[in-house]
Amino acid sequence: MWCYARILAHYPYVVMVAVLIVTITSLIVTLTIGEKPNFEDPMVGFEPRGTEISNRLVAYTNLINNVNNLLSLTPSPSPPLSAVIQHSHNKLSVSQMGHQGNLTTEEKHNQYHRKKRSNSSQFFCDVPDGQYSKIVFHSLSNTLLTAASIHQMCAIEETQLHSHSLFQKYCLREDDTDQCCRSVSIGNYIALITNKSRCQDITDQDVKSVDDILKFCSVFYQNYSLADDCDVRHSPLGESRSDCSSVPPKCTQYNAVYNMFHFIVDSNFITSKSSLEFAVTFLPVSFHVGSQEKTLDAIDLYLSFEMSQKQFSDVEVVAADFGIKYSLFQHYLQKDSKWLAVGGSLIFLAVWLFTGSIFLTFTTFLAMFWSLEMAYFLYVFVFEIKFFPYLNLVTILMMIAIGADDVFIYTKYWHLAKKERNNGTLEKLVSDTLKHATLSMLVTSLTTAGAIFSNLVSPITSIKCFSIYAGTAIICNFILMITWIPASVVVQEKWCNFCYVNPPKMYGKYKEYYRFFFEKILPAFVIRLRYVWIILLGGMGVFGGVVVFHYPKLRLPTSFKFQVFRKDHLLEMYDQEVGYYFGFERALEENTPLLPIRIIWGIQETDNGNGLDPHEKGKLEFDPSFQYATSNAQIWFLKFCQNLRSSKFYQRISSVEYTNCFTEHFKSYLEQPCIQGRKDYASCCNESIFPFSTDVNMHCMGEYIPQVMKTPYLNYGYQSPGPRFTNDHISALIVEVTSSTRFSYSYYEIKDFYDTVNQWVTRQLLDAPPEVRNGWFISDLKYFMIQKSLVETVPLAFGISLVVSAVVTFFTSLNVLITLYAVVTIAAIMLVTTAALVLLGWELNILESVIITVAIGMSVDHTLHYGVAYQLSPELDRGKRVQCSIIHVGSVIFMAALTTFLPGALMMPSVTLVYQKFGIFLMLIISVSWTFSTLFFQSLLNVIGPQGGFGQFHWPSSDCCSMSPPERVDRTIYTMSESTLSSSSSSYPCTHTSSEGQEKDPLTERSEPHIGPSRHKSGRHRGQTRTPSSSPEVYARIGESDTQQMAGSEKLFVQKQTVV
């Protein structure tokens, strides 16, 4: 340490230049070679990798996507698929959160009603369709069913949307006039029913007449007598499939009543016949599918609409759905960066005021930037991780919030060292500061980085990537804090005398108030009310535990619609809240599909892709032991299918299943009587005996499978169950049936389904021949897979973080009781913080799981500093030791908390959810942490804290085995200064006179320049004396017994004077 201090003292520019060379080189490489992060799809990476279910899902996805085109649907040679099948692109695949099934009603309608637009006699160009852009109106008066409200709704559509050039560019047009089609809205339906040409012409009488019709017809909609095809002229499919004979004609005309009930008015209006509070307008434009140019134009159209007036006297726009939510994410991500800049500016000002040096403040922010940049360089070029999720941007906010804390610590030690009488040369000043500040900075960095790195246990790609990048940034920041910052301080001390700021005289009064608060008011506030704080805050901790674990509990996410913006955003209002008020959206939620049961053979359940890159899913790995054509295998497959159909979880939904259980139907096909015209396939009839030979299997499958492909409405493709071939060999087999369990967002329901079926399949495979024993089960479990990962890994990461914090606390304080009380305090902080998040409506999602684990690392620092300060106090009385610790570290902890709280508060206006939620977390965790560490932890120490050497361990002496003679006993008088954060010291004075308080407080030292003109010369001889400071010094007289008691411990900022 002394050699490094000599280098810093004599050659600080060498250290700074070396750091600049490394950082600037990495920056140039990053800008010239590295690729720019892409945040266009925020959903990417929010899936587990490496778990049992995820491995199976990846393998199954690779199988149905036929990765690298290794498989064929038919034995070779096989006819081209286009000649025998309809492509399967119309078959709806599993959605991102677990849904699967057939085409929705709206998608089926699209194939028909697109052809009907040439009929110019229709009032609307199309029926309501969920694919169109939508806006939702809310009534500010009693109801939307008034002429005034209708007129305002129509005016908003016309002035803010229909008249926009981009709307005109992409709108659906009428064939005869080439004008944009009418919006499907409550106003236009009233105009249609009352024979008005446009909604602006309707009157209150027209509205009342339609209101009466709706209330009269509501009973037919609720008992399902009223359907969307009762008026065949306006049926979506051009025909009527429903029996509407019992429905009065005025309820079926134009199918207007059904469409209004199902698509436009809210469900409360239907069931309670109350006032109409919400109504949807379907715009004749769709942006769900389109080119990049169309998506960018859609974003411009939406932003123009968002900035326009959305509230009038009777109505307001409360929600919208333009189909571009995820495409809009990157725009808001860039827009919200301004709040990061504002937060950085405030922290810049705080550091400037604390250090009094613009130069040191500038180098501090350079250190923050270099930390982020170096971490990115290591992330991309050393760790070779290609995927950079938007969650990593949270690291910028973290660095702004906590990056200056170590600077506060280092400059505090520097100021205290300069205040001592005989602090020696500049080398000793640097050495002493480094010796004690480095330990403190290491401790805080370890706890924060440990909590972040604990997220590596999570299988979710985005969380892993975040933990790697953020943890690396914290480590890089620590390295810069012991290289770049000390060199900057030395340069400031030597040459940058012009960079410090002399505070105005008015600051003196504030300085006295500040010092008085931390030396008098706060210690008395803690000590006198210690029992109150223990009972009150302890009770809050217990209450937090009840909220988190009993009721209402930290719930798993209950919606597949991933939230990326703040809750009051128009697009999120529709997805998260308002959309469920309407029948067509509720129908999609309520008509959940039955979960499929898929058992795969021939493909190994492995994910050989890059677990840190969601775009790289690897390739298929075949099971070399799989042999379908053996006699034992065929017999077992036939029995397996029979057992599967007789199981309690099987549900038959179709009378014809050609390939679901391939062996059954293939056997039935080969047992058909022989007929003429099948000369080439004579062996493929009842002449063959089951189990069939390999030659018969391959030969007859060449006839059977193409016939299956020609079956109408079957859509046989790579997603269909059945065999897969490579070079006349069955390489894989999919058996798929439908279960009796419906998809659910309930974690425990799907867990019971998965465990039941998986255990049943495992038991069946135990009796299988060796060649087919390696099958495995999978279903539509993407949403359950995320829930399972969160449930299993969040407690594990939480525990790892807590253990790391406890270990760091113990090895810092070396006291059992202080460690125990610190862990109790940290646990209480976590419970109260998490309970507050639960009461705010947070659910255990991806971002929240990261926040919970990171919270431990950010909550331990304050408690740790107070614990070590208590342990270092020379006082014997608990109360005085608590008072001493508050005097010495209270102001530093408060300043660190303030600079963490401010960036969080400034992120509140952010639109993106990740910034807003992390801002809430920063404010909450730092407030709770400061409160519990200052009031609860200190009160515990005041009441039952260790006294004397109770529970105290010591590091072994480094010279216990040395052969050198013992050193001379140091009989001197020492001036003890602050040593609040070093575990290597045993005591320090705790006197708080006015002059001493001025020395101890970082914000009260401004009567002199903070990093002002140098009073040290690096070449000054050790024997040279200095003029004593005019301010009184506090001396601790230590005799021989005291010296022996302090053996093995170092004294911080100790000034020697020879005893005469």
Give all strands of the β-sheet with 594-601 in edge-to-edge order.
722-725, 730-742, 594-601, 776-778
How much is the pLDDT for 728? 81
Q: Does residue 643 register a pLDDT over 90?
A: yes
Q: Are residues 271 and 352 in the same domain?
A: no
How many beta carbons lie within 10 A of that of residue 406, not counting itself? 25
Report whether pLDDT(209) > 60: yes
For residues 665 and 800, membership in a common domain is answered with no
Lowest mean pLDDT segment, chosen from 121-135, 281-295, 716-730, 764-778: 121-135
pLDDT over threshold 60, residue 111: no
pLDDT in tens, 325-361: 999 998 999 999 999 999 999 999 988 888 888 899 9
Percentage with pLDDT > 70 across the chain: 82
Residue 1002 has pLDDT above 80, yes or no: no
- Tell me: pLDDT of 118 over 50: no
Question: If we measure between CA atoms, which residue out of 797, 785, 834 comes closest to residue 467?
Answer: 797
Computed from CA positions of residues 1015, 1018, 1019, 1020, in that sequence, does the dihedral angle turn out positive or negative? positive
Whole domain around residue 630: which residue ranges?
A: 52-99+593-780
Q: Which of 155-159, 620-624, 831-835, 960-964 has the lowest mean pLDDT?
A: 960-964
Does some domain include residue 586?
no
pLDDT score at 270: 85
User: If we measure between CA atoms, which residue out of 772, 732, 774, 762 comes closest to residue 637?
Assistant: 772
DSSP H or E segment with residue 353: helix 337-355
Q: Which residue has the higher pLDDT, 702 or 829?
A: 829
Q: Is residue 1049 part of a domain?
A: no
Tokens representing residue 23 in the block: 């950082």
243 in the same domain as 183:
yes
Residues 397, 316 within the same domain: no
- 284 SS3 class: coil
* Domain shared by 79 and 11, yes or no: no
Query: Within a domain: residue 972?
Result: no
How is residue 586 written in tokens? 């509720």
Choose the final residue of a domain: 749, 780, 811. 780
Whether residue 397 is predicted with pLDDT greater than 80 in this model: the reply is yes
**Lowest model confidence (mean pLDDT) among 166-170, 270-274, 697-701:** 270-274
Return d(Cα 1025, Cα 1032) in angstroms, integer: 18
1060 found inside a domain: no
CA-wise closest residue to 1001 among 915, 889, 918: 889
Which of 780, 802, 833 is the last residue before a domain boundary? 780
| Residue closest to 256 by CA, chosen among 286, 228, 282, 283 | 228
d(CA 570, CA 37): 27
549-581 confidence digits (pLDDT tens)? 999 988 888 776 888 999 999 999 999 999 989
Query: 780, 799, 822 — which closes off a domain?
Result: 780
Q: In this predicted structure, what is the pLDDT of residue 122?
A: 73
Reading the block at residue 57, the tokens are 């899902």
Q: What is the pLDDT of residue 988?
A: 42
506: phi then psi, degrees, rounded to nearest 5: -65, -20
- Burial code (b: 16+ CB inside 10 Å, e: under 16) for 810-847 equals bebbbbebbbbbbbbbbbbbbbbbbbbbbeeebebbbb
- Residue 1034: pLDDT band with limits 50, 70, 90: very low
Residues 733 and 826 grouped into a single domain? no
If pLDDT is split at 50, 70 and 90, which confidence band does 654 have? low
Alpha helices in 529-603, H assignment, sequence order: 530-549, 570-576, 583-590
Has residue 1031 got a pLDDT over 60?
no
Q: What is the CATH number of the domain that holds 20?
A: 1.20.1640.10
Q: Are 742 and 595 in contact (CB under 8 A)?
A: yes
> Rounded mean pLDDT of 680-702?
79
User: Are 382 and 460 part of one and the same domain?
Assistant: yes
Pairwise CA distance, residues 872 & 864, whole Å: 12
Give me the sign of the Cα torsion angle 280, 281, 287, 293: negative
Pair 20, 74 in one domain: no
Please compute the mean of the pLDDT values over residues 136-156 and round it to a whole number: 93
The answer to whether residue 1050 is domain-embedded is: no
Query: What is the per-residue pLDDT for 83?
Result: 38
Same domain, 537 and 624: no
Position 226 in a domain:
yes
Q: Is residue 578 part of a domain?
A: no
In this prediction, residue 115 carries a pLDDT of 38
Q: Could you tell me if 18 and 76 lie in one domain?
A: no
Sheet holding 1035-1037, edge to edge: 1035-1037, 972-975, 1055-1058
Which of these ranges, 602-611, 788-797, 965-974, has the smallest mean pLDDT?
965-974
CB within 8 Å of 877: residues ≥ 6 apart = none
Quickly state the pLDDT bin for 121 (edges 50, 70, 90): very low
* 1018 assigned to some structural domain: no
Q: Are residues 770 and 628 in the same domain?
A: yes
- Is it true that the peptide bond before 77 is cis, omega within 30 degrees of 0? yes
Which one, of 986, 985, 950, 984, lies nearest residue 820 by Cα? Answer: 950
Report whether 648 contacts 739 (CB < 8 A): no
In angstroms, rounded to a whole number, what is the distance separating the alpha carbons of residues 986 and 524?
25
Q: Are 410 and 481 in contact (CB under 8 A)?
A: yes
Number of helices (H), then strands (E), in the chain: 38, 10
The one-letter code for the residue type at 446 is L
- Number of structural domains found in the chain: 3
- Residues 757, 642, single domain; the answer is yes
Query: Which pLDDT value is given to residue 120?
Result: 34
State residue 78's pLDDT score: 44
The single residue listed with the structure tokens 């803010």 is: 160
